[in-house]
Amino acid sequence: MSEADRTSEAIAARVKALESMLIEQGLLTTEMIDRYVDIYENEVGPQLGAKAVAKAWADPEFKERLLEDGTAACAELGIGGGQGEHMVVLEDTDEVHHAIVCTLCSCYPWPVLGLPPNWYKEPQYRSRMVRAPRQVLAEDFGYEIPETREIRVWDSSSEIRYWVLPQRPPGTEGWSEEQLAGLVTRDSMIGVAPIEAVS
């Protein structure tokens, strides 16, 4: 194997090349591969983003740094690389809720959120979220945003990748960062699901 093949980009391209050749030969379809990806997709790093969110909830100074410069603050936690560069973190408040899409491809901060779910890559999600975000959140995700709250939808590109800092749920006072991280889901950082309230 040549030196160039050792870089991550080259090996990713090689996997893509093999995949396309086997599909052309009729051995496989993209859907067959996606099936196995779906089963294991949660094993590529979403817990890193949960760690950053939990720290921001517990440590106001870290939160300030995270909102100021998401890339640098995540690097403090050892999170970065891959498609995580130029991350902008959007803070949810009582007045404003944020959600992310990528309207042209599927740009996505995977070091933080793990692999994008397959629905994120579907054109229907992207185009409908831009046209009617309140309706899509309610109907497709069961996430009702009160009428008194503004919704902002952000378009990730390869230059800026956005992700959402959800609101800390009530009833979690005094929780450790590990406990808090357990509440944070991938969908809440995309902005399509709330953090489940603690009973």
Partner 1 sequence: MTTSAVGSESTAGERRSVDELIGDLPGRSNDLAFDEPWELRAFALVVAAHEAGGYAWAEFQQELIASIREWEESADDTDASWSYYQHWVRALESVLAGRGAVDRNAVDRRTCDVLATPKNRNHHEPHYEPIAVDPARTTSIPEAP
Q: Is 74 annotated as a binding residue?
A: no
Among 52, 129, 165, 195, binds partner 1 (CB under 8 A): 129
- The amino acid at 23: I
Q: How far is the CB of 163 from partner 1 (least distance, A)?
A: 14
CA neighbor of 31 nearest in space, from 15, 19, 17, 48: 19
- Count of C-beta atoms within a 10 Å radius of residue 80: 16
The contact pattern for partner 1, residues 23-52, with x = CB under 8 A and - = no contact, is --x-xx---xxxxxxxxxx-xxx-------
Q: 34 vs 178, which CB is nearer to partner 1?
A: 34
Q: Which of residues 177-196 bind partner 1 (CB under 8 A)?
A: 187, 192
Q: Is 175 in a helix, a strand, or coil?
A: coil
- 102 labeled binding residue: yes
Residue 106 is labelled as binding a ligand: yes
Q: What is the distance between the alpha carbons of residues 16 and 1, in angstroms, rounded to a whole number?
A: 17
Closest to partner 1 by CB, 153 or 180: 153
Residues 6+ apart with CB under 8 A from 99: 129, 133, 137, 151, 152, 153, 154, 164, 190, 191, 192
Give the one residue of 118, 167, 172, 177 binding partner 1; rule: CB under 8 A.
118
Stretch of 49-57, 67-75, 99-107, 167-175 lying at the interface with partner 1 (CB under 8 A): 99-107
Of 105, 127, 158, 176, the active-site residue reads 105
| Sign of the torsion angle spanned by Cα atoms 32, 47, 130, 168 | positive
74 assigned to active site: no
